[in-house]
């Protein structure tokens, strides 16, 4: 890159960092004001809250608003360049508009890669810290962790259920498993109690009755205790609104595949989250280009008009993103389309704005 590229690139990154720091501080202050009563009710110290909540909250809010940070940063510093006639001077020197966009593209790709890497592992681990704190002290402190009447498919021809399961104790009662051949049950296993043994990573069954069924004949066995691998772990039995944000991309992909095998309903929400982790970094690059194209034109009103237009476009993007997610989770829109439709439509908008931009 040449000197002018480094000049634009440096302004881009510095303005982006400034936006992150500013909006993160504002978000933390607003969040503290909302949760002060919860912290006081649980008698939590400032150090404890900082260590066990805001260490996870800050990466979450940064990743959530990352595309918006990028968009605002590009519009803000580019409009300043345009108002000082620096963009006009660059173009008048013989530099093409395509060449002018080079540092923006490099910066956008760099930030996109940063977000993509963070979304895969760092942000889920931060969400694990944040959501564990919220469930214990904010959302519903003291709330029961029990799940009732769990029923699922564990492989192509086996089904199991648990009448009562405690996610904290990782134990339950009223367990059963059926194995089918065609439309006939050929195997049945029942247990009074089921417990997870983390050392062996197996389930411990107590009060076991096992039946092998062959037509009108059956072979019955009883065991006081039996340890067995049931092809699922306690994490698969958690039912909470945060599970998709806690898992790394690899873990989330494994969970989606397992839920498909089990024939579970409502997995579109998980799939949308999985595809969005790849789509959102592309959003950063698209919004970078839109911001650069819009703000590079010197207009009466300066940065204020550019920022107003930028916020309007950002709001439209968020609205479109929410609508596509709802249509996928509650309707029949394929999850991959729900995650990528906003990028496709705004990619078309980017091309239109580029064609109309003064060069």
* 260-270 pLDDT, tens digit each: 776 666 688 88
Locate 217 and state its tokens.
């004949």
Tell me what pLDDT residue 140 has.
57
Q: Under DSSP, is residue 186 helix (H, G, I), strand (E, B) or coil?
A: strand
Tell me what pLDDT residue 235 has.
72
CA dist 354 and 211 (Å) reads 70
Nearest to 242 by CA among 134, 108, 120: 134
Tell me what pLDDT residue 239 has.
63
Crossing angle (nearest 10°) for helices 268-295 and 55-83: 30
The one-character DSSP state at 136 is I
Per-residue pLDDT of 282-336, as tens digits, reads 999 999 999 888 888 776 655 667 677 777 887 888 888 888 888 887 778 888 9
The one-character DSSP state at 171 is E
How many Cβ atoms are within 10 Å of 229's Cβ, its own excluded? 10
Tell me what pLDDT residue 40 has.
84
Question: Global pTM?
Answer: 0.76
List of domains in the chain: 3-140+267-356 (no CATH), 168-237 (2.30.30)
Burial code (b: 16+ CB inside 10 Å, e: under 16) for 33-56 equals: eebeebbeeeebeeeebeebbbeb
Q: How far is CA 104 from CA 77, 94, 205, 303, 352, in A?
A: 11, 18, 60, 18, 18
Confidence of residue 106 (pLDDT cuts 50, 70, 90): very high
């Amino acid at each position: 890159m040449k000197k002018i590229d480094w000049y634009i690139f440096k302004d881009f990154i510095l303005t982006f960092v400034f936006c992150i720091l500013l909006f993160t501080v504002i978000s933390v202050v607003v969040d503290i004001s909302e949760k002060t009563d919860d912290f006081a009710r649980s008698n939590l110290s400032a150090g404890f809250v900082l260590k066990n909540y805001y260490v996870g909250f800050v990466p979450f809010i940064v990743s959530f608003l990352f595309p918006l940070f990028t968009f605002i940063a590009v519009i803000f510093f580019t409009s300043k360049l345009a108002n000082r006639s620096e963009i006009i001077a660059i173009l008048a020197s013989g530099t093409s508009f395509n060449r002018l966009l080079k540092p923006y593209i490099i910066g956008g790709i760099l930030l996109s890669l940063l977000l993509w890497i963070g979304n895969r592992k760092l942000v889920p681990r931060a969400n694990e810290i944040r959501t564990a704190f919220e469930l214990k002290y904010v959302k519903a402190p003291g709330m029961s962790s029990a799940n009732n009447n769990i029923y699922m498919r564990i492989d192509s021809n086996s089904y199991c259920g648990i009448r009562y399961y405690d996610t904290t104790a990782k134990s339950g009662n009223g367990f059963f498993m059926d194995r089918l051949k065609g439309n006939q049950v050929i195997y049945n296993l029942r247990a009074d109690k089921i417990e997870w043994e983390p050392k062996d990573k197996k389930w411990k069954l107590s009060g076991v009755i096992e039946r092998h069924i062959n037509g009108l004949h059956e072979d019955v066995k009883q065991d006081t205790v039996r340890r067995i691998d049931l092809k699922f772990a306690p994490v698969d039995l958690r039912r909470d609104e945060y599970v998709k944000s806690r898992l790394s991309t690899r873990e989330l992909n494994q969970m989606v595949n397992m839920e498909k095998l089990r024939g579970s309903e409502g997995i579109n929400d998980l799939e949308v989250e999985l595809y969005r982790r790849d789509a959102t970094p592309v959003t950063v690059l698209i919004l970078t280009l839109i911001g650069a194209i819009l703000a590079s034109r010197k207009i009466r009103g300066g940065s204020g008009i550019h920022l107003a237009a930028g916020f309007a476009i950002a709001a439209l993007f968020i609205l479109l993103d929410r609508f596509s997610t709802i249509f996928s989770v509650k309707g029949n829109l394929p999850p991959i389309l729900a995650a990528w439709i906003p990028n496709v439509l705004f990619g078309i908008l980017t091309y239109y704005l580029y064609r109309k931009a003064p060069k």
